[in-house]
Amino acid sequence: MKHLKSIGTAAVLTAAALVLAGCSGGGSSGPVTINYAIWDQSQAPTFQKMISVFEKENPDIKVNLQVTASAQYMTKLQTEAGNNALPDVFWMNPFNFPLYASQGAIQPINDQVKKAGFDANAIPAAMRDIYTYEGKLYALPNNRDDIVVWYNKALFKAAGLSDPTAGWTWADYQKDAAALTDASKGVWGTAVPIDFRDLFVNTVHQAGGSILSADKKTAQWGTSAVQQGMQYWADMSTKGYSPSVDQLSSTDQNSLLLSGKVAMIYAGSWMGVTFKNSQLAKDGKLGVAVLPKGPKNDASSTSSLGNLIPAKAKHPDQSYKFVQFLGSKEAGDIYTEGGIAFSAYPSADKNFVNYFSSAFDAQPIADQLKNTFNLPVSLNSPVWQSDITANLAPVIKGSVSVSDGLKKMNTDMQGALDKEATQ
C-alpha cells in the first residue's frame, strides 16, 4: 500500500513539473506561435506576405494563418467564444463586433496602444468608431471598402449615351437604366437584387434617412426618407429595367454584368479583383463611376475588418504586437498593392488604383471613399438582417406596396431590437 502511495505522489509531482514547464514555455524563451483566423482564401496570399514581413521584424513570434470558409467562420467563432478557445488574433466584421465586445469575449487595446506609442489617430476616426464599444478601442482597422457603380461601356455606346460622370443624380441613373433596357435583346439597364449593403442602405442614406435611430434602440424603416430610398429601387424593378427578383436569386448581378445582360450595377469595391480578370475588362469595356446623387447626398456605405484579441489571450503581448503591425502603414501598403481594398492610410490609395490600371480606371472608387458613412449596427444585427430578404423581396417584386412592406420590416426589426435589450 505504501508503495502505491509513493508511486502516486511521484506521478502527481511529474504532472505538476510538466505543467510548470508548459507555462514557462509560453513565456519569453523560444519563439511563440500565434494563430490568426481569417475567412477569405483569396486574401490569404496577401496576408502571408504581411506575415513574413512581421516575422522578419519579430523573430521570436511565428504566425499561423488559419482560413475558414466565410459561411462557417462566424459559427465556429461563436462556439470558440463559448469555450474560451478563440484564436490568438482573428478577423471580425462590423455587424458581429458589438456582440463580442458586449459579452466581454475580446479585450480593449487602448492601454497597449498608449504603452507602445502607436499613433492610432492616424487611422480615420470613422474607422476607429466601428471598433469602439463604450468608449474603448478594440481593433486597429486597416482596410476599407465602398460601393460604386460598375457599368458596361459598350452598352452605353450602343444606346447612344455618354458615360456617367461625377455629380450625376438618381434621375440620371433611372433615365439611363430606361434607355439601356432592351427587352428584345435580353438586356436590362440595371439590376435590383435584394441586397442591403450594396443597394438599399446607400440610397436610404442618400435620401437623408437611416433605418436605425442614433441610440440604436428604434427601427426607422417607416420614415419617409427610408421609403424614398426604397422607392428608387422598387420603381426600376417594377418598370422592368431589371431582371426579376427570381432571376437574380438564381443568377447573381455580377455575372449578368460581365456577360453583357445588365448594363450597370451597384456593387462593392471588393469586386474589382474578380472583375479585373473578366473578358469585359480585358476588352476595355468595364467602367466605374461614383454613386449618383440622391435627394440629400451621394455618400456610400463603408466597412472595415477588425483584428481582435480574445479577452483571455494566451499570448497577449505577442498578439497585440501582430495586431499593431496589421494596423500599421507598412501593412497597409502591402494590402493595397493586392487590389483587395483600401487601407486606413490615404497615401496608399494610389497602390489600389495602380493595381487596376491595366484593366479599368479605378480612380472613382478612391474618390467615392472620401464620401462615405458607417453601416447601421445594433447589438445583434444578424437577427434583424435575416428578416430583410423575406420582407423586402415582395416590395421589389411589386407584390406589396413600399409602405406596407416597410411597415412589416419595421415591426420585425423593432422586435429584434427589443430582444437585444434583454440580452
Partner 1 sequence: MTSTVAPASYAARAAAERAPRPLGRRPGGGKDRRYEALTGYLMILPLFAGVSVLFFYPIGRSIYLSFTKTGIFRGETFVGLAQYQQLLGDSQFWASVAHTLLYALISLAAIPIAVFFAALLNVKGLRFRSFYRVLFFLPVVTMPVAVGMIWKYLFNSDFGVVNQVIGLIGIPKVAWLSQPIVVVVAIAIVGLWASLGLNIILMLSGLQTVPNDVMEAASLDGAGAVRRFMSVTLPLVTPTIFLIAVLNVIASLQVFDLVLIMIGPNSSSINSASTIVYYFYEVGFIQSNRGYAAAISVALLVLTMVVTAAQFRLQRRWVNYDR
Q: Which residues of this chain interact with partner 1, rule CB under 8 A? A: 75, 78, 81-83, 99, 103, 105, 194, 245-247, 249-251, 380, 382-383, 386, 389-390, 393, 423
Least Å from the CB of residue 303 to partner 1: 17
Least Å from the CB of residue 31 to partner 1: 31
Among residues 354 and 386, whose Cβ is nearest to partner 1?
386
Least Å from the CB of residue 390 to partner 1: 4
Least Å from the CB of residue 197 to partner 1: 11
Among residues 99 and 267, whose Cβ is nearest to partner 1?
99
CA distance 257 to 263: 6
Across the strands, what pairs with 300? Answer: 372
Among residues 200 and 325, whose Cβ is nearest to partner 1?
200
CA distance 131 to 283: 41
Least Å from the CB of residue 277 to partner 1: 22
List, in order, residues 6 or more apart from 411 with CB less than 8 Å away: none
Least Å from the CB of residue 360 to partner 1: 27
C-alpha cell at 360: 479599368
Among residues 113 and 194, whose Cβ is nearest to partner 1?
194
Among residues 126 and 383, whose Cβ is nearest to partner 1?
383
Identity (one letter) of the amino acid at 13?
L
Among residues 58 and 389, whose Cβ is nearest to partner 1?
389
413 burial level (CB within 10 Å; 0-12, 13-18, 19+): buried
